[in-house]
């Protein structure tokens, strides 16, 4: 069994840490000895995490769609630890449902959190990295930022935006010769986290889409980029195949992806419309996993 990597003295900022991938990243980095500064809207959950992790952990209540909240997160990290080695923009929200069936306020919220939130975090991080001469920015994209998703058009738009933003920043650092500032985009496939519990849903059906990847696979890949420092990482074969397929046959890929996702949704049990936790944080869904794979398996067994 390989020896666990130590990251003592490393200071890492993580957004969206009250559940899912963000929570998994914080817990693993803390286990490896890093200082972790993390945020979410759910104060009680993240403060309990910080209390359990000890003085190396700092929780900050923040809504990343607000510039002032992201600035507060940045300032808290600097005040406690004096520098920032890694900044991970992980927070993400979304909706399922046809474009015109989804309230505009939910679509706007998706852009505000996913794209503007990532922009705010990237801005504070890169400015600090320039001042101190080093640092690593990791932005979490999605396979939906490589191949558009029907019933999730604005989610895809936000993640295509994150991809463009991250690549543009990468290019600027390269042109400026800042070899010690690294910029990475990580694109997960559908992942078994509480994201589907928190998402807005106007599809008329439960969000049971898959196959879903293990969240620990994504957590390990993201943390691995602290060392590997690649420009773009598509996690797993499914995400990579979708990306390659769209490059080779865009029209065919778009149509087949559309049918696949649409069929998956329509086969799920009925569900009432909900805005999920888009506008107000909810108590449920606090784990790293969201039991999506278990629910998909139960659905498959029920169809036999």
Question: Is 0.85 topped by the overall pTM?
Answer: yes
pLDDT at 121 over 90: yes
pLDDT in tens, 28-86: 999 999 999 999 999 999 999 999 999 999 999 999 999 999 999 999 999 999 999 99
* Catalytic site includes residue 155: yes
Q: Residue 106: its pLDDT value, please?
A: 99
Q: pLDDT exceeding 70 applies to what percent of the chain?
A: 95
Q: Residue 1: its pLDDT value, please?
A: 35
User: 180-212: b or e for each residue (b if 16 or more CB lie within 10 Å)?
Assistant: ebbbbbbbbbbbbbbbbbbbbbbbbbbbbbbeb
pLDDT at 296 over 80: no
Q: Active-site residue among 74, 96, 155, 202?
A: 155
Q: Residue 300: its pLDDT value, please?
A: 56
Nearest 5 degrees, angle CA 284-CA 290-CA 294? Answer: 130
Q: pLDDT exceeding 90 applies to what percent of the chain?
A: 78
Q: 38-47, 74-83, 91-100, 291-300: which range is least confident on average?
A: 291-300
Mean pLDDT of the chain: 93
pLDDT in tens, 161-195: 999 999 999 999 999 999 999 999 999 999 999 99
DSSP 151: T
Question: What does the alpha-carbon distance between residue 236 and residue 151 come to, in Å, rounded to a whole number?
Answer: 23
pLDDT at 2 over 60: no
Q: Residue 189: its pLDDT value, please?
A: 92
What is the mean pLDDT of the segment spanning 127-147? 97
Structure tokens at 252: 């065919």
CB 191 within 8 A of CB 215: yes
Domains of the chain with CATH codes: 11-302 (3.40.50.720)
Instruction: List the one residue out of 157, 216, 228, 195 whose CA is nearest residue 16.
Output: 195
What is the mean pLDDT of the segment spanning 290-301? 68
pLDDT in tens, 234-255: 998 777 887 888 888 888 888 8
Q: Residue 171: its pLDDT value, please?
A: 99
């Amino acid at each position: 069994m390989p020896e666990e990597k130590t990251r003592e003295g490393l200071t890492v900022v993580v957004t969206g840490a009250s559940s899912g991938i963000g929570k998994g990243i914080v817990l693993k980095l803390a286990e490896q000895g890093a200082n972790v500064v993390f945020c979410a809207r759910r104060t009680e959950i993240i403060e309990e995490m910080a209390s359990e992790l000890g003085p190396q952990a700092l929780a900050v209540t923040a809504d990343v769609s607000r510039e002032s909240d992201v600035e507060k997160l940045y300032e808290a990290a600097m005040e406690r630890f004096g520098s920032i080695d890694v900044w991970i923009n992980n927070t993400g929200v979304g909706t399922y449902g046809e474009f015109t069936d989804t309230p505009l306020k939910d679509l706007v919220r998706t852009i505000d959190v996913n794209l503007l939130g990532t922009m705010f975090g990237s801005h504070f991080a890169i400015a600090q990295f320039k001042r101190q001469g080093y640092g690593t920015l990791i932005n979490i994209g999605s396979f939906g930022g490589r191949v558009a998703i029907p019933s999730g058009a604005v989610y895809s738009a936000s993640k295509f935006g994150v991809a463009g933003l991250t690549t543009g920043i990468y290019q600027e650092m390269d042109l400026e010769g800042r070899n010690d500032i690294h910029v990475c985009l990580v694109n997960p496939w559908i992942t078994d986290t509480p994201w589907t519990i928190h998402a807005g849903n106007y599809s008329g059906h439960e969000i049971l889409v898959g196959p879903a990847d293990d969240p620990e696979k994504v957590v390990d890949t993201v943390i691995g980029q602290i060392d590997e420092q690649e420009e773009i990482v598509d996690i797993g074969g499914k995400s990579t195949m979708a990306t390659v397929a769209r490059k080779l046959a865009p029209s065919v890929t778009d149509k087949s992806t559309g049918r696949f996702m649409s069929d998956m949704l329509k086969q799920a049990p009925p569900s009432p419309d909900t805005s999920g936790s888009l506008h107000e944080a909810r108590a449920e869904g606090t784990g790293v996993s969201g039991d999506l794979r278990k629910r998909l398996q139960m659905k498959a067994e029920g169809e036999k």
